[in-house]
Amino acid sequence: MLDQKVIELLNDQINKELYSAYLYLDFSNYFYDEGLDGFGNWYKIQAQEERDHAMLILQYLQNNGIKAVLKTIDKPAAEISNQKSVLVAGLKHERFVTGLIHTIYDAAYSVKDFRTMQFLDWFVKEQGEEENNAETLLKKFQLFGDDPKSLYMLDSELGARTYSAPSLVL
């Protein structure tokens, strides 16, 4: 049986992951409107990943006999003033999500919920990758974003990204 606080945090995380997907769709739309389809593709895939993260948590709750509670997803609140502002907001958001995952892990640890901790191990690793990807993208943009040819090449690189669903065994 899962601890009530852990259940509440996992339910909240479902909402936060779906919000992340919504936020990244907003970023994707921005870049498509800017004519940077590769950046748009990169964030569209990010949105798919976040949706799948929510589904993994939902499935984990269901597998433990807990009914997931779905909540209203807020409208994306990021201020988009230029291309770089999107990338900065993306990195900031990933760091925020990492903090949320750590909070759930800490709550599970405090009640010796080893099953949930093991489940969350994948998310901890994933968040490290997510932060690194967002930081790398921002660094590349800062290096090449002012040069149209380099920006074109970076956009092309991002356009080649494909999606593969996570293979986490619940």
Angle between helices 37-63 and 4-33 (to 10 degrees): 160
Measure the CA–CA gap between 108 and 114, rounded to whole angstroms.
7
Instruction: Please answer whether residues 69 and 11 qualify as being in contact, where contact means their C-beta atoms are separated by less than 8 angstroms.
Output: yes
Mean pLDDT of the chain: 95
Question: pLDDT value at position 77?
Answer: 86
Confidence band for 170, pLDDT divided at 50, 70 and 90: low
Confidence band for 146, pLDDT divided at 50, 70 and 90: confident
**pLDDT tens, 66-86?**
999 999 999 998 889 999 999
The pTM for the full model equals 0.93
3-state secondary structure 84-145: HHHHHHHHHHHHHHHHHHHHHHHHHHHCCCHHHHHHHHHHHHHHHHHHHHHHHHHHHHHHHC
Question: pLDDT value at position 168?
Answer: 63
Q: Assign residue 112 a region: left if phi > 0, alpha if psi is -120 to 50, beta otherwise? A: left
Angle between helices 148-159 and 114-144 (to 10 degrees): 150
Mean pLDDT along residues 113-141? 96
Measure the CA–CA gap between 78 and 117, rounded to whole angstroms.
31
Residue 38 has pLDDT above 80, yes or no: yes
